[in-house]
Amino acid sequence: MGLVSALLTAPLAPVRVAIWVGELIRDEVDRELYDPGVIRRQLGEVDEDRAAGRIDPAEADRRQRELIGRLIRPDR
């Protein structure tokens, strides 16, 4: 039965590969988006930008709230 099922499901192989690659990409994006080390670095960059006057305090606060929200998101 293994040979028959392999022959019958062979046309679906590209779809399975595409799904697998998509899942790998999604996992890596999630890892980058919610990694505490990355978020800490980005918070530091916001502080540096605010101190250097590259962004105004309101924008810095907005960015910090967004980053902290990612850090403490309830579904993780």
What's the length of the chain? 76
Q: Where are the alpha helices (DSSP H) in the chain?
A: 2-9, 13-34, 36-52, 57-71
Q: Rounded to whole angstroms, what are the CA distances from 75 to 22, 26, 34?
A: 21, 16, 11
Calculated CA dihedral for residues 27, 32, 37, 39, nearest 10 degrees: -130
The pLDDT tens digits of the residues spanning 20-60 come to 999 999 999 988 888 999 999 999 999 999 999 999 999 99
What is the pTM assigned to this prediction?
0.65
Residue 75's pLDDT band (boundaries 50, 70, 90)?
A: low
Residue 76, pLDDT > 60, answer: no
What token pair was written down for 75?
């579904």
What residue type is assigned to position 5 of the chain? Answer: S
Residue 1's pLDDT band (boundaries 50, 70, 90)?
A: low
